[in-house]
């Protein structure tokens, strides 16, 4: 290890920056954000640096550097284009025992600036030990993308409770377990979700009741239409924190595999006329697991509140006072249509879109079909494969033209995606020949005509038929 990562408290500390160009301005931003009292020595500085110094009560000495500029300073940065000046700053600082950084010259640095991920008071520094700042910034961006902005709020929350927890739990092991459960569990999720008042109440209960006060929580998570890359960061974070994961057949196996390795996995899949677990039993299972203190993720294909019966599953939890969160997901209509190259709305073809339940109820697809006559509205039928003959017949019966374009997107956004394209008059024959399997989405409307020119996904054109 070439450098020891440390965090310096620089509030109101006097610091010197030699050089006022673009590079010096970047360093000044960082130093001023840390609360330093900054003095800049340079014959000229950028307009931005001059503005920063004015905003933060910094000083600019319009002159060339001399050794006396180091008097009273605690830290110095050299950022001039003159190598001789930079070397002189380094020599003078070392002689006085001052930490010094010469920008882009690691050999003359007693400290370096890492790439910083700022979730104040939580800070993460990424450093290449001065060898590749670009690589350090790349790693920072990757880590930053995975780290919710609200983690700073969680760190501040923990800081406010630190002494109270230490007093209530003097034993180091007990205190560590408490914090692990709090930060990774329901309390932490409440803070991240902006529900700090609830988190405060939960902390008081936990400290008062100890382990007996631990309650579980349920996270109703939209897993998207199939491609694991379409899951949100929040969905992934909750999935990887869960003790138990309930999933059904609409959730891709690759997504289930992203759960914590030691999490319990429970299949509650349902298919047409074959409910592996009745809906009421699923609702009660979520309640029972949460009451046992488990963190439970209920994975739902697509979005939980769009034909996902998510409202039914959380209703029982709400009645019993179980904390829950609902995490939206990319709904099948959006994901499958995008991967198939079919825009659901388009200025020249459709000005609105309607999501419609296409499944059979009592061997009937029950709708007021007169609502679906507009040629400038895209219709998307969920779970409509078995009801396709009824859909095609009824739409034509209320006036939709037989040559109205129709697309079936089978297993949308996955490697097995297939798109079958026809018309209201021809699509039944195409389906009889191609035998697509669920889950399949049906898109009706002129936007389907754009499929051939806009489809990009590898399997997007497989099985397509002319209009």
Q: Over the chain, what HEC string results?
A: CCCCCCCCCCCCCEEEEECCCHHHHHHHHHHHHCCCEEEEECCCCCHHHHHHHHHCCCEEECCCCCHHHHCCCCEEEECCCCHHHHHHHHHHHHHHCCCEEECCCHHHCCCCCCEEEEECCEEEEECCCCCCHHHHHHHHHHHHHHCCCCHHHHHHHHHHHHHHHHHHCCCHHHHHHHHHHHHHCHHHHHHHCCCHHHHHHHHHHHHHHHHHHCCCEEEEEECECCCHHHCCHHHHHHHCCCCEEEECCCCCHHHHCCCCCCCEEEECCEECCEECCCHHHHHHHHHHHHHCCCEEEEEECECCCCCCCHHHHHHHHHHCCCCEEEECCCCHHHHHHHHCCCCCCECCCECEEEEEECCCECCECCCCHHHHCCCCEEEEEECCCCCHHHHHHHHHHCCCCCCCEEEEEECCCCCCCEEEEEECCCHHHHHHHHCCCCCEEEEECHHHHHHHHHCCCCCCCCCCCCC
pLDDT given for residue 466 in this prediction: 46
Those residues whose C-beta lies under 8 Å from the C-beta of residue 461, and which sit 6 or more positions away, are 419, 451, 452, 455
- Let me know the angle formed at the C-alpha of 411 by 409 and 412, rounded to the nearest 5 degrees: 60
pLDDT given for residue 402 in this prediction: 97
Place of tokens 């900054």: 38
Q: What does the block give as tokens for 341?
A: 């190259």
Q: Active site residue: 27, 248, 294, 300, which one?
A: 248
Give a yes or no: residue 462 inside a domain. no
Expressed as residue numbers, the domain containing 319 is: 215-330
Positions at the binding site for NAD(+): 22-23, 43-44
Is the pLDDT confidence value at 5 over 90? no
Q: Active site residue: 270, 446, 461, 462, which one?
A: 270
Positions at the binding site for S-adenosyl-L-methionine: 225, 301-303, 306, 331-332, 383, 412
Quick one: pLDDT band at residue 242, thresholds 50, 70, 90? confident
pLDDT tens for 253-279 read 999 999 988 889 999 986 555 556 788
pLDDT given for residue 133 in this prediction: 84
pLDDT given for residue 458 in this prediction: 42
Which of 193, 213, 233 is the last residue before a domain boundary?
Answer: 213
pLDDT given for residue 463 in this prediction: 44
Is the pLDDT confidence value at 154 over 50? yes
pLDDT tens for 320-349 read 989 899 999 999 999 999 999 999 999 999
CA distances for 362 relative to 377, 381, 387, angstroms: 28, 18, 11
> Do 239 and 351 belong together in one domain?
no
Is the pLDDT confidence value at 295 over 90? no
At 369, which CATH number?
Answer: 3.30.950.10
Has 462 been annotated as catalytic? no
Q: Which has more pLDDT, 208 or 375?
A: 375
Which of 156, 184, 213 is the last residue before a domain boundary?
Answer: 213
User: How many CA atoms within 13 Å lie on the side-chain side of 133?
Assistant: 10
From the CA atom positions of the chain, what is the Rg in Å? Answer: 30
pTM, two decimals, is 0.62
Give a yes or no: residue 289 inside a domain. yes
Is the pLDDT confidence value at 461 over 50? no
pLDDT given for residue 233 in this prediction: 87
Positions at the binding site: 22-23, 43-44, 225, 301-303, 306, 331-332, 383, 412
Number of domains in the chain: 4
Give a yes or no: residue 143 inside a domain. no
At 56, which CATH number?
Answer: 3.40.50.720
Q: Which has more pLDDT, 174 or 125?
A: 125
Indicate the average pLDDT of the chain. 89
| Mean pLDDT in residue range 394-418 | 95
> Do 325 and 373 belong together in one domain?
no
Q: Which has more pLDDT, 377 or 140?
A: 377
Give a yes or no: residue 461 inside a domain. no
Give a yes or no: residue 312 inside a domain. yes
CB-CB contact of 179 with 162 (8 Å):
no
> Do 439 and 342 belong together in one domain?
yes
pLDDT given for residue 130 in this prediction: 82
Which of 273, 407, 270, 433 lies closest to 341 in space, CA to CA?
407
| Mean pLDDT in residue range 232-254 | 90
Q: Which has more pLDDT, 147 or 228?
A: 228
> Do 346 and 436 belong together in one domain?
yes
> Do 60 and 166 belong together in one domain?
no
Has 142 been annotated as catalytic? no
């Amino acid at each position: 290890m070439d450098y020891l990562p440390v965090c310096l408290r620089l509030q109101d500390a006097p610091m010197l920056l030699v050089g006022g160009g673009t590079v010096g301005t970047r360093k000044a931003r960082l130093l001023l954000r840390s609360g330093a009292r900054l003095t800049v020595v340079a014959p000229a500085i950028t307009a931005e640096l001059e503005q920063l110094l004015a905003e933060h009560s910094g000083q600019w000495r319009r002159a060339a550097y001399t050794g006396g500029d180091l008097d009273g300073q605690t830290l110095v940065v050299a950022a001039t284009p003159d190598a001789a000046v930079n070397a002189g700053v380094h020599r003078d600082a070392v002689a006085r025992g001052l930490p010094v950084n010469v920008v882009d010259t690691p050999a003359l640095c007693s400290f370096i600036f890492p790439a910083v991920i700022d979730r104040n008071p939580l800070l993460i520094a990424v450093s290449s030990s001065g060898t590749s700042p670009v690589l350090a910034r790349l790693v920072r961006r990757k880590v930053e993308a995975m780290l919710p902005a609200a983690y700073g709020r969680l760190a501040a929350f923990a800081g406010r409770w630190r002494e109270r927890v230490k007093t209530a739990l003097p034993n180091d092991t007990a205190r560590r377990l408490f914090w692990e459960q709090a930060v990774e569990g329901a309390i932490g999720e409440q803070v991240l979700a902006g529900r700090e008042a609830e988190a405060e109440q939960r902390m008081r209960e936990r400290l008062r009741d100890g382990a007996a006060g631990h309650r579980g929580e349920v996270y109703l998570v939209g897993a998207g239409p199939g491609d694991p890359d379409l899951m949100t960061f929040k969905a992934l974070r909750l999935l990887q924190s869960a003790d138990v994961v309930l999933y059904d057949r609409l959730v891709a196996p690759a997504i289930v595999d992203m759960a914590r390795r030691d999490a319990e996995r429970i299949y509650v899949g349902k298919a047409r006329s074959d409910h592996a677990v009745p809906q009421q039993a699923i609702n009660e299972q979520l309640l029972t697991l949460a009451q046992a203190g488990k963190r439970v993720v209920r994975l739902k294909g697509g979005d939980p509140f769009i034909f996902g019966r998510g409202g039914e599953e959380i209703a029982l939890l709400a009645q019993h006072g179980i904390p829950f969160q609902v995490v939206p997901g990319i709904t099948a209509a959006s994901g499958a249509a995008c991967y198939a190259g079919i825009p659901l709305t388009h200025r020249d073809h459709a000005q609105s879109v309607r999501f419609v339940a296409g499944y059979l109820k009592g061997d009937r697809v029950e709708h007021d079909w007169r609502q679906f006559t507009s040629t400038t509205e895209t219709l998307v039928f969920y779970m409509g494969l078995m009801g396709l003959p009824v859909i095609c017949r009824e739409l034509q019966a209320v006036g939709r033209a037989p040559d109205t374009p129709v697309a079936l997107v089978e297993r949308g956004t996955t490697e097995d995606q297939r798109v079958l394209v026809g018309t209201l008059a021809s699509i039944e024959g195409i389906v009889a020949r191609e035998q697509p399997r669920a889950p399949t989405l049906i898109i009706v409307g002129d936007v389907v005509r754009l499929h051939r020119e806009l489809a990009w996904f590898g399997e997007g054109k497989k099985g397509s038929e002319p209009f």
